[in-house]
Structures are given as structure tokens and as C-alpha cells.
Structure 1
Amino acid sequence: MSLRPAWRASRANRTFSKREILKLLAFAAAFIAAAVTILEIQLFPSALSQLKVGDIAPQDIIAPNSISYQSELATEAKRDLEENRVPLYYSRPNPEAARTQRAVADSVLSFLDAVRADPDPTLSADGKLDWIQQIEAISLSRQDAAAILNLPESPWLDAKQEIRSVLDSAMRQEIRDSQLISVRRRLNLLISSDVPDAEAAVITAIVEDLVQPNTFVDEEKTAEERQAVRDAVEPVFRTLEKGEVVVRTGERVSRETIETLQAMGLQEPETRWQSYASTFMYITLLTVLLSVYLVKFQLPVLKDNRKLIFLSVTMLVFTAAARAVLPNQEILFYALPTAALTMMVAALIDSQLALMITLTMGLIVSYVGGGSLELLIYVIFGGFIVALNVGKLAPLNSLLWAGVYVAISNTIVILMFRFLENSLDLFDLLTRLGSGWLNGVLSAGLTLLLLFILGNLTDTVTTYIQLLELSRPTHPLLSDLLRRAPGTYHHSLLVGNLAENAAERIGANAFLCRIGAYYHDVGKMLRPYFFTENTPPGLLSLHNNLEPEVSAKIITSHVTDGLELAKKYRLPSVIRAFIAEHHGTEMVRYFYHKAVKAAEAAGKDEMSVDKLSFTYPGPIPQSKETAILMLADASEATVRSVEPQSSEEIDRIIRRTIDNRMKSGQLDACDLTMHDLEQIRLAFIDVLQGVSHPRVKYPEQINETAIPDTGPLPPLPLAIQGALPAPANDER
């Protein structure tokens, strides 16, 4: 058999053109940009978000929840305090300082010697005093300068010797900037006790300015030690209890108040690029993970622009809603119907995809809520329960029960986290529980409303309610089918039973299969008597007098005619797929072989017959449901035509029908596996052997069948008289 495994078929469809890759990248970039914008930019800033340092608080600002945050202001203050406690580190005394000051002293003394010994008679005593006071290295009063000039030569020589001695003794000590005054005040203690007071005063006056610091701060080591102390300071955390007043009305707003508001999410921090970068990386990571999942497990979604837009827009809408109420309105968030997103994705696309969307949404909500584990579990638990109970085209009662399950899940999560708190506020608990139940009600109600709106605005979204409406026998199109082609109508009912039974066995959408079967052959009612099931007993086939090409065109046109009727009656696209795909690209072989024989009789070969003229337009089935219908349609028609006399014959007919469709490649684009086909075969046998079993003919029936036909056949209905009618059954 030539059926390709599901994985091989999916691998063949897993390639992307360059244009598709660019489209997906554009989708991802747009989603990331929109999500980051929603999470980081306050589109409608509140009055509290506009407060600045020094403003007057317009209202009491109270912490809505208990919060603990790292205070940069308090941490920085503590770092400064610890840094100021670190002492200055000094290098060793520099001996070069002593030598430098000794050279300065020698220079000063030499200048004083020159002034004292100056023989210029024109230089008065006051002039000499002025010269002495102009010495830059030392600062002498006029009295000290006069004492130097008046000192006799011998005492002056002793004084110079003592100046050098005292300076050397002083500079041998460790002298810091902070110690300089103290050292100068103790210079007189270094002067020899034999020196007279007059000389001692001169010595002190000169040496006092010559003594300079010789030990300096080691800036590098001091900065290193201070930085080490700053780095060792642990971050300071501030805790606000729920209901604690941050600032009262009329009080001036401080830097600490602004920091607290930022921690509560009521203001944006001044430095935003780190937050933007963090949010961008977080959303990008989630987008990449979701994209990888779609590539590996939901490839058709990636290739469907409408589904991508639906997923992106709904996720952004719910992200914006969460951003609007978090983190300062956590109670209100409990009522936010995030489970509606899961319900819509599960009902419209796929339950497994809904699980992944729920996980992604939970991580986004947790991020908005400051990494809240409670919010993460709150969203994920409710969403997972929904995804496990709601399937594609879920019935109304499933959506309503899903809302109840969400409310119960919310109750459990709220109680679980409230019991973990030290104090239990009964009013707060009841408020949260009420919001959780409101969440379930709103989730179910919002989902029903959106499905109703989408189902009526576009035929690309099909809901269970729409299918329920299409299942009514009084539907105008079904009523026309019953009136104009009763044989096709009853054939469709039986095919619906076959398809529904088989779909239930393999986990496909059984209700969709049944509704699709009702409408798959509606195109036959335009020319009903060209199809076997609508031909009155005893009436010869209308194809007997037609060319094979004409008959084939009539037969295959029931597909295109059905699609036209489907558009006229506004059938959704998911039902139109059953009409277009239930014959795939098969050939009408009976008329093809008839045409080949006619060509050979005319001396032509088989190549002269155009196969496309005998081929259905297709496409081949793209889903499990349309593939099941193809097999059910062919099996029912063949069994009805052959009239098997045993279940073994029915089994052989079904096996041959399935094998033929496999060999012709009609099942290559769907996801049916060999196990699925085996279950479908068994389901067909169960149904067909119940309706096709041989019946015992009683004597009355035997006598009735022996009565000769004496009357003429009734006249053909007006539908046959006139223009060319449409296909009769497949003439397989």
C-alpha cells in the first residue's frame, strides 16, 4: 500500500518559502513590539503616577497588598554611612620631605645672613625688615624680623645651628595634615634648654613655617577599602503591610515616597532602559518558545494568517487587560476572564494549542504582577481545566460547564494561598472568592458572545451553535435536497451515521462529520435524475444517450454546483470543505473506460482521452474529518450498489475502497494513521452490516414480485425534461 505515514506527509508540508518566513518574522516582531509597548508604557497615567518630589499628596496612598521591596535609597544611605566609618589610610613618612625642607631652611638662613650683613648705608632698618617679610617660605611678623636683625652675631650663629637641629628633629616624626598644627605648637619642646628665650623665640618663628607634612593619605588604598565596605553592605528591604499608609493627604512627597510608589507599580522608575530590555528579552523568549511549539506541533496554524492574527490580537488584548489592573488592583484581576482566551482557542482551533497559550499567558500575567506565583497558578490551573474539557466546536453545555470548572479552580487556588498567609481577613477572602466565581461566569459568557459575533461576521469561524442550526432538517438547503433529490438526502443521512461512528472511534470531531455529510452532495439536487440513487425504478439511465465526456462533466460538476449552493446559503468554510474534498481528485472511471473503448473503436489509443475531463476538481482531503467522509461516501455507495449478502462481503468491499483511496494518494494530506484506518473500517462494518443485511422474502412478497408490470412508467419530473441535468451517483 502506498499510504504515506502521517509524519512523512507532515514533513512534506513543513517547508516554508522565503516569503512565508518573512511573514512569520514580521508577525513575531509586531507581536513583541506590541507586547513590550503594552507592558512598559502607561497609556492612561493616573494622578499618582505624576507625583514628584516636593509635591503635596492629593489623597491618602495606602498599600493595597503586603509588599517587600529593595530600597535603593536606604541601601545607598547605609553604604555612605559605612564608607564614612572607614579611616584614612596613610603611606609611610617620606624622607624626601625632610631633605627638601632642610634645603629650604638653608636658603632662608642664607638670605637672612645677607640681609643682616648688607653694608649698603642707604638701606634703612625698615627696608631690611621689609626684605625679611618678603621671604615666601616663612611668614614672620615685623617683631620677629626685628629680633632676627638685632640678634648679635654669635647668638645668631647658635640660633642657625639650633634651627637646623630642631627642624631635623621635627621632620623625623610622622607628620600628617591633621597633625601639623600640633607639631608646630610643640616645637619649643625640641629647643635646647640652654638657648635664651630671645633666641628661642627667633628659632620657633623660623622653624614653625618650615615644618611641613611628610606623611600623606594613600588615596588608592583608602578608596579600595571604602569600596569593599560599600560592596559588603547587604541590600536594605522595606516592608509594607496591607493597608499601611504610605503618605497622607497634604503631606509633602519625599524621595522615599516616590520609591515606594514605584515599588507598588503606581509609578514608573526614572531609569527605564533596563526595564525595557528585561521586558523585551522576556517577551522574545516566550515568543520563540511558542513559535517552536507551533512549528513542531501546529504547523497549519503558522500557515493560516487569520489564525495567527486571531491568536496575536486576543493575547495582546488580555495582556493589556492584565496590565490595566495589575499590580495595584489585584482583587479586580481575580475577576478578569483570562480563561475565556483558553476557551476560544480550544473551541476554534485546538485544545493542545490552548494549553500552550494558557501557559504563555500565565507567564506574562505573573511578570506583570511582579513575579507572583499565585497569579501564575491562578491563570494556568483554570486554563488547563478548560483546555482539557473544551474541544474544537465544543457544544454549548461544555462551555457552560467549563465556566463552572474555572470558578471551582479559582476557589481552590485562592483558598490555598490565603491559608498560607499569617493573617486571614474574612472580608478580603470573600471578596476574592466572589471575584473568582465572577471570573468563571464572565469567561463562559464572553466566550459565547465572541463566538456568536465571530460566527456571524465571518464564515472562517464555525461554532457548535452554527452546526446545531445546520443540523435541523428544516434548514432551507436540506429541505430543498429532500424535496428535489430524496435518494441523495437519505444517502447523506446514512453517510453521516457512518462518518460520525468512525470519527468517534478515532477521536475526530464526530458532530462535524455528521453535519458535513448532510451537505456534501447538495450539488446533486440541481440534476438529481442523473444520479443513481435518485433514478425511479424501471427508468433507464439518462447517461445511455450521452457522450462519456458529457456524463463525466455532469457527474463531477455536482462538486462545483454544491459549492455554489453552499455560498448562496452561507454555509461556513468548514462545511464547504466537505463538499470540495469528499471526492478529492479521483477519476470517474466508469465513463473514462467507456471513453477509452470508444476511442479504441475509432482507431485511437488511450492517450487520446483527456483524463482531466474525467477527474474531480479536488482538492484531496485536508483533515481527518473530510477523509472519513470520503471513505464513508464511497463505502456506502459501493455497498448499496453491490448488495452484499454477508458481513464478509461488506468487509471486503470496505477494505478495497480504503485501499483504492490510499493507492491513489487521496489520503496523503490528512493525518490519518494505519490504526485510524483500521478503526474506521470496523466502524463502517458495524453500521453497514446493520442496514445491508439480506432480508427474507415472505410468500406475499414473492407473489407480489411475480406480478407482471402492466402499466407504463410515470412521466419524468419536469427537472429531467429540458436542459442537461447533473451528476448521478459516481457510477463507480
Structure 2
Amino acid sequence: MRLNEQLSSLRKIINYRVFNSIILIILALILFGIFYQNIRPQTYDIELFSIANKTIRSPKTIIDEEKTSEEKKKAAAQVSKVYTFQTDQVQNRVSLMNSIFDFVEEAKSEDAKSANKEQSKKDNLTAEDKLLKLKENLTENVSEDVTKSISDDSFQTLLAASDDQLDHTRSVVLNNVQAVLNKKIRNNQVDAAKTTVVNQIQQSNLSKSLKLAAQELAEYAIVPNYIYDEKLTKEHRKQAMKAVEPFKILQGQVIVQEGHIIDRDIYRQLKLLGLLKTNSSIKPYIGLAIFVILIISLLAFYAAHARISQEEKQNRLVMVSLILLCSLALMKLVGAMNHLDIPGIEYAFPAAMAPMLIKILLNDRVSYLLAIIIAACASLEFHDEIADTMNVEMVLYTLLSGASGIIFLSNKNQRTGIFKTGAFIAIVNILTLCFLILIVNGQFTNREFVYYLIFAVVSGLLSSVLTMGLLPFFEASFGILSAMRLIELSNPNHPLLKKILTDAPGTYHHSLMVANLAEAACEAIGANGLLARVGSYYHDIGKTKRPQFFIENQMSIKNPHDRLNPDVSRDIIIEHTTDGADMLRKYKLPKEFVDIAEQHHGTTLLKFFYKKAKELDEHVKEEDYRYPGPKPQTREIAVINIADSVEAAVRSMNHPTPEEIKNIVHNIAQDRLLDGQLNECDITLKELEVVKKTFCETLNGIFHSRIQYPN
């Protein structure tokens, strides 16, 4: 029993949704089990300060946040404090000294005015009044508390000085203060700056008392002008920290060499990478589950939206799942050979096998979907012996290999074409490997390069060989009528075709003509032209049982129907559809051919014998003279239905003109339409017009006018 027949038996027990769900769940569990080992994090039982018994490499690239933070702190610490030179401070301090001298002069001038009015006051009282007045003015008009910082002796010395002496003292103080403040002075340099200004004033030609006063004023004027800028310093340190590149532990990087001590830093890195048994993570398993769900979802979406019957959807889902599992089994087999230490052995994986099988058995859309799924799976399987990593190069190699198999595989799908496709795949594999090697500037020995090229060729050829080997199994198991199978069945040496040719040559010629018409029309409306052609070869196989009762085989004999009752003739004619179906089943030909044999006349009326019977008995029922059907269920059978009658009608005419052919085609097609023969197939009125036009063009080419040659 074929696999699709067993599935049909299961469908009687389980409904469509449950059946599909079971298939997808089983496939999901198998996929998870296949790649579980590949993504399982490799952990080690290691203690701090123990000796490593093997070299451990990083399975992934990860940022070491702790190390990065340390490096940022170091970079920030290396940034010196930022100081700003406050130029306005020079002018402020000089202005302050000027103000002090101005208030001294003001106090002296007011004292002079009051002296003219009150001649009786004593000089010592006048000096005290002047000092009090000066200090009062300074307190009220100067923001700084100058009176507490500068001694009364200095103020009294300035008040007692003459105008010339005061001006000279002002000049000495201002010049020296400005000269010192024009230089950068930090907090820790203030004392040195004050010493400098005192020494410079000491060298002036002022009197001793004025020097002391000037020195005290100058010392007070000297303040830090090169100030620490905390905000700017923080900004510079932030920039320095931003400039630090994140410290990364790279995939494949050696964490510890065999025989070395596991120190604290190494132990921390192992813990960060999840390589210690004490801190294993479930994240890889969650990731694999998401990956499997994504694959299953894509297959479920295809199964749900394919415009085919529910039964066919289930058959296709099972077939695609089996082909995917076959490809993954080969992938695991090749992956298991990695321990042989043969360079590039993973490139021998026949990545194009599954996409090619699906293209032959189904269509391009599903084959591209499977190519993508297999490429994604290859990234997990071929991970360079580092657990829970991805091999992006293998993804690209597998995807291009699978896609090239789909592209180069001809729609005719002859067996020789599959082998040619294998050669093309090998070339694409070689070019892909050269690209991958050169783009990363890889360093490979000549021996490794030769191995890579050999395995690239093996992948292409193995894909074609396995496709050829597995194709008959899937065709037979699922009853798939592939283009290759159709081409094989079109071989004239097939026993049934030879039987038609020898027993019913007229029917054989008629079948060839119908095949030409049906193929051209089906291709014009987007139906399966090859199926229509090859199916037409066999559609009248039932006539070989009684070939002489069909007019195309009555070459030099009288029509036997002239001697028979209409009901007998009716039975003989009608039985050629059921006889043909039985013969096709006996020879185990595809179900599509059986359907064509049974449905190519639908339930049409045998008008000639019905009218003949009507003449003998008016009470004859029309339905007794109709074919049993069923009516055409597909566009291909509908086209064959019309082509069968059109070819017979046109062939019966002598030198038909294009106009006569057009009328015959139109009338027959219209008769089928009005008789309801096309009600159960999905052919549209627009497509029917295209079919009629194609029939006319083909028949005009066959029955064109010929030149009359003289005898």
C-alpha cells in the first residue's frame, strides 16, 4: 500500500486539523532533538586556582562589562585636573587697589576742607577722624571687608603721605600687582606670588613706611587666578571614558591554556561566558525553541494557504517533512565526520538535494522555502566545534547551493538534466568557496584549498545522484505525477502506447492530434500542458478493446454499427471510457490518467445513436444515451474534452477553411458550456475564449492549404 493511501486511512480516523497538528508537533520535536546537542552550552567543572586540564576557548563574542568599567576608570584617572585662567580677576584686583587709593585721596580732601573751617582742632584728632572716615567709606562701598585685612597703620601711612607720594605708591602697587597677576597662579602658588610682589616693591624707591603699606596692599591684592574647573574636568573625563572601546571576549579566543592556573580574572571570564556548571543558562534552549517554532510556522502557513484540496495539503506536508528530515540526516552524517580532521568536509553536504526534489515533485515556491530552512539549520550543525555558535559562511554556501539547484533544474526534468544541474551546482559551490576564502583574506594551504574544491564538486554531484535515487520513492509513495514521470510515460515504447499503435492506429493518430491541441491550449491558460499532452495519449486506450467499432479505425471495412441496435452501439461506445480506466489501473498508471479516461467525455450525449433510437422509439430517455461521467474536474480534462470533439469534427471535413474551423470550435465549446459539462472545473469564460483561439491557430496550422502538384 502506498504511503498516501495509508495517510488516507488515517484521515478517516483523524480530522484534518488534528492530523496536521500531529505531523507538525512530531516534526518540531525531531528538529529540537536533532539540534539539541549543537546548541547545548559546553560547561566545565572548574574550581578557582585549579589547573586547567584542557584549553578553553570562548564560544561567543561578549562584552566584559567589569573589565570595560575598569578601563574607563583608568582613562578617567589619567585625565589631569582642568584649570581656567580668569583674566577678569587681574582687572578686578587692580580696580580694587585703585578704589582703595581713591578712597584714601577722598578722605584726605575732605579733611582739608574741614581743616579750613575749624582751625582749633588738633592734628592727632584729625588723623583719627581721617582713618575712621576712610574705613567707613571702604566698608560701605567695597564688597570685600578690606578694613579687616589691611592694618590701620598702613591706612594711616597712606593718609599721612603727600599727594605725590600717594600717587607714586599707587603706581608701584598697581604695576607690580598687575605684573604678578598676569601670570597663572594656582591656590598652592599664592604665597610664592605674594613673596614675588613684596620683593619687587621692596626694590622700589618708596619710603620705608610706604613700602610696608604698599607691600600689605599688594599681598592682599594677590589671589589665585588659575582656578580648578570642576565642570570642565568632569566633561573631559567623560569624553575619555567614552573613548574607551568596550573590552570584548572574542569568539574562539583562548580563555585559558591547558596546564595554566585558573586565576580570579580567568574564573570571572569563564563565569561571564556561562562555561561553569554552576551557572549554566537556559537561553540557548529558548532560542532553539523559537527557531523550531519559526520553521514549523512557515510550513504550517504553506499548508494552510496552498490552493489545493485538504487531502493534497496533508500529503504535501508529510512529503516536505520527510524530505527535510532526509536532508537533515545527511547534514548530521557529514557533521559527524568533522572528527576526521579533513579540511572542509562540511562542504560535501548535498545542500541542493532537498530543494531539487521539492521543485520536481511540487513547485519552486516550496523549494525556495526549504532551501532557506536547510541553510538556517546548517548554521547550527556546522559550528566549528564551538557549542551554541552560528556558522554564517555555511549559511551562505548552503543557500547559494540550494538556490542554484532550483534555478538550473529545467522544467522538463529529464534525468540527464538533473546530472547537468549537479555539474552547475558544483561550479556555483566552487565560486562561492573562492568568494568566502578571498573576502576574509583567509590563509589556507594548497592542500586545504584542494580539499575544499573537491568537496564542493562532491556536494553538487551527490545532490543530483541522491535526487535521482530518492525521486522514484517519493513519486511512488505519494502518487506524485512529476514532469519527469510524464516524460517517461510519453515514450512510444510504453506497452499501452504500443497497443494503441498496433491495435487501433486511427485512434493513435487521433490521440496525437488531441495531444497537440490540448497541450497548446493548456499552456496558453497556465494549466499543465505536459499533463494534458501525455494524458491525451492514453485517453482513448479503452478503444483498443473493440477498435473496429470506432470510425477512425474503420479503414477498409463497413461500419459495424449499421447492423446493430442503437442501444448496443451505445453501450460499446460508452464502455471505452470505463474500459480505458480499468486498463490504466491494471497497468498502475497515475490517477490523473484514469481521471482523464473517465472524464474526457463527461456526461455528453451520444447524439447520433440517440436520434437513431428516437426514430425507433419515441419514449427513449436522453439520459440513457449519455456517458456516465463524471464531468471534467480539472481545466486540463475540460480542454481535452473539447479538443477530442473538435479534432474529430475537423478531421471529418474535406479541406476545412479557417472560417469553418472557427465555427466548429465555437459551436462545440458553446455546446459543452450550455450542456453544463464545464460546471465542475475551475476554467473561466476568459480562459475558454483563449482555448478556442488556440485551437483555431493550431488547426489552421495543421489543415493549411497545400499546392496542387500536376500528375
- TM-score between both structures, scaled by the size of structure 2: 0.61
Q: Which residue of 1 aligns with 2:630?
A: 618
Partner of 1:170: none
Residue 555 of structure 1 and its aligned partner are, at CA, apart by 2.2
- Shift in alpha-carbon separation, 1:288–1:689, aligned structure 2, 3 A: same
2:374 is aligned with 1:361: yes
The answer to which of 689-698 and 533-542 deviates more is 689-698
- Secondary structure of the 1:299 match is coil
Q: Relative to 1, partners in 2 of residues 1:670 and 1:417: Cα closer, same or farther, differing over 3 Å? A: farther
Which residues in structure 2 correspond to 1:684-723 (within 5 Å)? 684-693=695-704
Q: Contact 1:521–1:558 at 8 Å: present in 2 too?
A: yes
Match of 1:38 in 2: 34
Deviations 1:334-381 (A, max 9, x none): 221121111111111112221222233333434555454433333333
The 1:29/1:397 distance shift into structure 2, 3 A limit, reads: same
Q: 1:24 aligns with which of 4, 20, 26?
A: 20
When residues 522 and 267 of structure 1 are mapped into structure 2, their CA distance, relative to the original with a 3 A threshold, is farther
Please point out which of 62, 70, 76 is paired with 1:70. Answer: 62
Which letter maps to 1:410? N
Q: Is the 8 A contact 2:271 2:279 kept in 1?
A: no
Amino acid at match of 2:25: A
The aligned amino acid for 1:576 is V
- Secondary structure, aligned partner of 1:570: coil
- The answer to whether 1:566 aligns with 2:579 is no
Matches of 1:360 and 1:488, distance apart in 2: 49
Q: Which amino acid aligns with 2:544?
A: M
What is the CA-CA distance between 1:635 and the residue it aligns to? Answer: 1.8
- Residue-by-residue CA offset, 1:405-442 (whole Å, 9 max, x unaligned): 32233233323332331443244444333322221111
Contact 1:644 1:692 in 2 (8 A): yes
1:501 CA displacement: 3.5
Residue correspondence of structure 1 range 41-440 to structure 2 within 5 A: 41=37, 53=46, 68-70=60-62, 237-239=248-250, 248=258, 271=280, 273-300=282-309, 303-323=312-332, 329=338, 331-366=344-379, 368=381, 370-390=389-409, 394-427=413-446, 428-440=448-460
Per the alignment, residue 169 of structure 1 pairs with: none
2:498 corresponds to 1:479: yes
> Secondary structure of 1:495's match?
helix
Instruction: Indicate the structure (1 or 2) with the bigger Cα radius of gyration.
Output: 2
Residues 569-718 of structure 1 mapped to structure 2, 5 A cutoff: 569-592=587-610, 601-602=618-619, 609=621, 611=623, 614-618=626-630, 620-622=632-634, 624-643=635-654, 645-667=656-678, 672=683, 676-693=687-704
Which shifted more, 317-326 or 639-648?
Answer: 317-326
2:554 is aligned to 535
- Contact 1:523-1:565 within 8 A present in 2 as well: yes
Partner secondary structure for residue 249 of structure 2: strand
Return the offset for 1:323: 4.9
Q: 1:454 to 1:70 in 2, by over 3 A?
A: same
Specify the SS of the correspondent of 1:303: helix
Counterparts of 2:528 and 2:270 in 1: how far apart (Å)? Answer: 54
In the alignment, the residues of structure 1 paired with residue 35 and residue 267 of structure 2 have an alpha-carbon distance, to the nearest angstrom, of 23
2:672–2:678 CA contact under 8 A, matched in 1: yes
Alignment partners' CA distance in 2, 1:574 and 1:53: 66
Q: 1:347 & 1:257 partners in 2: Cα distance? A: 55
- Residues 493-546 of structure 1: per-residue CA shift (max 9 Å, x gap): 222222333445455554443322221111111111222212244613426522
Of 443, 448, 453, which residue of structure 1 is paired with 2:468?
448
- Would the aligned equivalents of 2:306 and 2:313 in 1 still touch at CA under 8 Å? no
Distance 2:558 2:392 in 1: 75
Report the Cα distance in structure 1 between the residues aligned to 2:491 and 2:248, rounded to whole angstroms: 67
Q: 2: CA distance between counterparts of 1:269 and 1:574? A: 63
Report if the CA contact (8 A) 2:255-2:269 is conserved: no
Distance 1:26 1:517, change over 3 A: same
Code of the aligned partner of 1:689 = N
Give the Cα separation in 2 of the matches to 1:257 and 1:573: 68
Q: Which runs of 5+ in 1 are unaligned?
A: 1-16, 84-232, 701-732
Q: Residues 156-203 of structure 1: CA distance to partner in whole angstroms, max 9, x if unpaired? A: xxxxxxxxxxxxxxxxxxxxxxxxxxxxxxxxxxxxxxxxxxxxxxxx
Q: Matched residues in 2 for 1:576 and 1:483: separation?
A: 21
* Secondary structure of 1:474's aligned partner: coil
Deviation at 1:394, TM superposition (A): 1.4
Aligned partner letter, 1:654: V
Once residues 311 and 301 of structure 1 are traced to their aligned partners in structure 2, the CA distance between those partners, rounded to angstroms, is 15
For the structure 1 residues 547 and 379, does the alpha-carbon distance in structure 2 shift closer, same or farther, using more than 3 Å as the test?
Answer: same
Contact 1:352 1:387 in 2 (8 A): no
User: 1:539, 1:375 → 2: CA distance?
Assistant: 73
Matches within 5 A, 1:492-507: 492-506=511-525
- Give the % identical residues: 27
Listed one character per residue, the Cα deviations across residues 104-151 of structure 1 (whole Å, up to 9, x for unaligned) are xxxxxxxxxxxxxxxxxxxxxxxxxxxxxxxxxxxxxxxxxxxxxxxx
Amino acid paired to 2:327? F
CA distance in structure 1 between the aligned counterparts of 2:485 and 2:302, rounded to whole angstroms? 30
Write the distance in 2 (CA, Å) between the matches of 1:253 and 1:588: 95
Asked whether the equivalents of residues 542 and 583 of structure 2 are also in contact (C-alpha less than 8 Å), the reply is yes
Using the alignment, how far apart are the partners of 2:336 and 2:278 within structure 1? 15
Would you say the 8 A contact 1:481–1:489 is kept in 2? yes
CA RMSD of aligned residues (A): 4.6
SS state of the match for residue 317, structure 1? helix
In structure 1, what is the equivalent of residue 212 of structure 2? Answer: none
Q: Greater helix percent: which structure?
A: 2
Task: Give the counterpart letter for 1:581 in structure 2.
Answer: Q
SS at match of 2:61: strand
Q: What are structure 2's unaligned runs of at least 5 residues? A: 1-12, 74-243, 384-388
- For residues 79 and 61 of structure 1, the distance between their equivalents in structure 2, rounded to whole angstroms, comes to 27
**Structure 2: how far apart are the matches of 1:640 and 1:398?**
37
Matched, 1:553 2:562: no
The Cα offsets for residues 423-465 of structure 1, whole Å up to 9 and x where unpaired, read as: 432444443333222211111111111124445x558134555
User: CA-to-partner distance for each residue in 1:33-91, whole Å, 9 max, x for gaps?
Assistant: 22222222579x9xx97975489999x7797xx964338xx7689899999xxxxxxxx
| CA displacement at 1:685 relative to structure 2 | 2.6
- CA gap of 1:333–1:571, structure 2 versus 1, over 3 A, is same
Distance 1:82 1:474, change over 3 A: closer
